[in-house]
Amino acid sequence: MDGFPFSAADMIPKLLSSGIRTVIFLSLLKAPLFSEPQDFAGKAVVAIEYSPASQPVDPRDLENMQLVKVGEPLQMRQVAASIDRLFSSGLYDDIQVDAEPDGTGVRIRFITKARRFIGHVGAAGDINDPPSRGVIISDSGLTLGQRFRESDLEAARETIESELRQNGLYEATVTTVTIEDPVLHQVTVRFLVAAGKRARYETPIIKGDPKLSDGAIIRATGWRLPLIKRWRKITQALNDKGTDGIEKKYAKAERLTASVDLERMDYDADVRRARPTLNINAGPKITIRALEAKVSKSKLRKYIPVYQEGSVDPDLLAEGARNLHDYFQSKGYPDVDVTFKEEPQRDDEQVINYYIATGPRRRLVNINIIGNNYFADDTLHERMFLRTNSILLRYGRYSENFRHQDEGAIENLYRANGFRDVRVTSTVETNYKEKPSDLSVTFRIRPGTQWTVSHLKIEGNARLNLAPIESRFAAIEGQPYAESNIATDRSLILSYYYSHGFPSASFSYTVVPDTETHTVDLVYRLREGPQEFVRKVILSGLNRTRPSMVEKQIKIEDGEPLNMTKVNAIARELSDLGVFANVNTGIQDPDGTNRYKYVLYDFDEAGRYTFNVGLGLEIGQFGYTTNNVSSAGGAKGISPIFSFGVNRLNFRGLGETLAFQVRYSSLEQRESISYIVPRFLGSNRTITFTGLYDATQDVQTFSSRRLEASVQTSQRLTRASTVFGRFSYRRVSTGNINIPSLLIPQFSQPVRIGMLSAGYIQDHRDDPADAHRGFWNTIDAGLAGKFFGSQRNFARVLARNATYTPIGRNLVFARQTQVGVILPFNNPGLGDYEAI
């Protein structure tokens, strides 16, 4: 048998130098048994084959990586270099080379084993939240597009089981299922969870020096329900809440250095309970006092970090002194002096005294700036912390810390405008204008000479033309020189390179100053690195969603430069569809040297159904219809209210929503059904079809029924602004009439209304479902007329303004103002004021 006339040992050091361990099996000639090895060096290459024929690397990359060419003499160094290049792509686990004679030449075959990568990661089975499916997937630590290893899979399974045990699911088991894509070499991983039943807490074992009764500690944990004394089911959140509750209990008792450690949970499978072991060290009582000046307890907790850190050391105490110093200076005591002293510990108590000598109270009445010949004074003042006294600031705002920060702010502003050697100092004058309580601060600016850019040169941009962004450069010839401008240009240039597929582009610069002309020559040096392109976009995790819906949103073409900013922006847009619980994106083998990369989008689909059920009581006038006008309202009573709603999300796999709502009580019965189609006909508009039936009986003399159908189209202009147009057609009728029809109020007379309306919504609430701050404005204008099939003609405008202001932590002041105008025309009466 014959083979290449070089050894694997000659090649291994070269491959190891690249950080790759490679085993190369030198080929054996298909020649008579026991024949002598042949020398293939210098023979013409007749053919190059690959086994398997479909290689994991893109054909365009393969052509660049393969140095052995058909028709050229075979060189062993080229074979070794080709193997090196293929391995550096990161797409291979093993490469073997086989050669056999073919006439007067040689036939080369590369036998490869493709590397596998992580694709979709999912969790299914009996998942008892917590932990949720998303947490389980996250705990796996398997990253989309990274190399797949069996050892990582086992580590992920153990981590998930540990997470389940921490949440009281001690009997849970996790198995894994993998599915490999032979073309893309991606591995789908699914964790099958059998959670079992959740354990409950048991009376904890308490160790250490708690200085509290067991009952007080147990109540602080919240692990047992009050009154009924039943132990809760275990979750990680309750574990943390329990230890936090104990620490808060000690903090209220001024034991600021208390330590609470949940050492372990001992599970008893027979009773399905787990007994916590708590190691508690209460520590001494820490009493912090402010002497010689009045400071509230809340202010001490705010400014002395001992309360937040739970430990007492000189650094934290010194930081507290500085904070109190700045606080009193900001309150008009510029001469304040704050020191502290730790008293010896006695009788389980340690006292820390802060001695505060405030000095006289003064007002900051004047801020003077000398040497400012470049900016308007207002430009400097708006960047400063110091403020003179006013109605809102009785003593102004002054502290030494603020004064030094203002010096830095002025210097930074000057440096950003070319004054490299600027220096700013400040002095404080007491007894200003012979008033002992008044202060004046004077800032002195020594700007030096302004430096400008005389010439800007860009080197290294061989493959990307920067002309489209040069007009946005901050460092322009003839303009002031500042390092902040260079930082701006650096960010601009690198962002431009990254968006054109140069992920490893780097930026450096050189400044050559001319002290005579006070100008600089700038040189921007770029290292572009290799350009990467999109090989193909791969979707995974789509089970109920049609791929066509997602593909319309992903506007990335094969072969275009790889732009991760664009890739991530599309992922955010896909998340906003409301169809997916999570959208993950990545690159297959991001660190490989191959230029054409798979772009991966992995989807975790949200649940298909959401339900809401409501029960309540309604107080009103009840009774059957009657012709007794004197008691038309009936008698007061209480009626149960029942409401039920179901939403079918991602209907037809196209992101559409089908919603059904029911409300039933003695006074009102209402049913509605809605069909919501986002991105209607491929546009950014959402169209909603709604049907409604409402029967109301709030008096005994007659009942009212309403049938309504509407279609609405809406489009979001910005994140906070939406416009919509709507056409609605309603029919109002009466029934069970026991009085003459002339006695029925005009507002409730039978009528048909066809209305075309349009509106604008401006929503700046922090959370539309549970707003705590912000505002909400709407305006809705409509027109009803016979040309729409309406029996009445009128125009209507309704405007609404709502604001939300937090008051403390748990209260929100919410107010709403509505203004409505309705203008009838071409009819004696409006007839349907419900349109308002």
Is 614 inside any structural domain? no
- Residues 571, 438, single domain; the answer is no
pLDDT of amino acid 459: 95
pLDDT of amino acid 748: 63
Is 612 inside any structural domain? no
- Count the helices and strands in the chain (H runs, E runs): 16, 33
Is 334 inside any structural domain? yes
Instruction: Map tokens 């002096």 to a residue.
Output: 337
- Residues 386, 427, single domain; the answer is yes
pLDDT of amino acid 830: 46
- Residues 390, 480, single domain; the answer is no
Is 1 inside any structural domain? no
| Sign, CA torsion 547/550/552/554 | negative
pLDDT of amino acid 639: 76
Starting at the earlier edge strand, list the strands of the sheet with 337-342: 285-291, 349-357, 337-342
- Residues 295, 225, single domain; the answer is no
- Residues 334, 437, single domain; the answer is no
Taking the C-alpha atoms of residue 488 and residue 524, their distance in angstroms, rounded to an integer, is 13
Taking the C-alpha atoms of residue 739 and residue 703, their distance in angstroms, rounded to an integer, is 11
Q: Which domain holds residue 685?
A: 620-835
Starting at the earlier edge strand, list the strands of the sheet with 533-540: 533-540, 596-605, 580-587
Taking the C-alpha atoms of residue 615 and residue 418, their distance in angstroms, rounded to an integer, is 69
pLDDT of amino acid 4: 40
pLDDT of amino acid 746: 59
Is 504 inside any structural domain? yes
- Residues 501, 591, single domain; the answer is no
Q: Based on the number of CB atoms within 10 Å of its own CB, is 160 exposed (0-12), middle (13-18) or buried (19 or more)?
A: buried
- Residues 384, 424, single domain; the answer is yes
- Residues 667, 802, single domain; the answer is yes
- Residues 18, 96, single domain; the answer is yes
Radius of gyration, CA atoms only, the chain: 38
- Residues 679, 769, single domain; the answer is yes
CB atoms within 10 A of CB 241: 14
CB-based contact 99:111 (threshold 8 Å): no
**Structure tokens of 290?**
């402010």
Q: b/e for 788-812, b at 16 or more Cβ within 10 A?
A: bebbbbbbbbbbeebbbeeeeeeee
Is 615 inside any structural domain? no
- Residues 655, 778, single domain; the answer is yes
Domain end (from 357, 386, 415): 357
- Average confidence (pLDDT) per 10 residues, the chain, 836 residues: 37 36 37 45 91 95 94 92 95 93 91 96 91 93 95 95 96 95 95 95 95 94 92 96 95 92 95 96 94 93 91 93 93 93 91 95 95 94 93 90 95 95 95 93 96 95 93 93 95 96 96 94 96 96 93 94 95 90 94 96 92 83 49 62 93 93 88 93 89 79 84 92 95 74 65 94 88 93 92 92 88 93 74 43
Which whole-number Å values give the CA distances from 488 to 321, 456, 475, 495, 510, in the listed order? 39, 15, 9, 11, 15
Is 732 inside any structural domain? yes
Domain end (from 485, 504, 527): 527
Is 2 inside any structural domain? no
Domain count, the chain: 8
Return the beta strands (E) in 717-827 as ranges: 721-735, 751-763, 774-784, 794-807, 811-824
What is the identity of the amino acid at 104?
T
Q: Based on the number of CB atoms within 10 Å of its own CB, is 135 exposed (0-12), middle (13-18) or buried (19 or more)?
A: middle
Domain end (from 482, 502, 527): 527
- Residues 51, 176, single domain; the answer is no
Q: CATH code at 219? A: 3.10.20.310
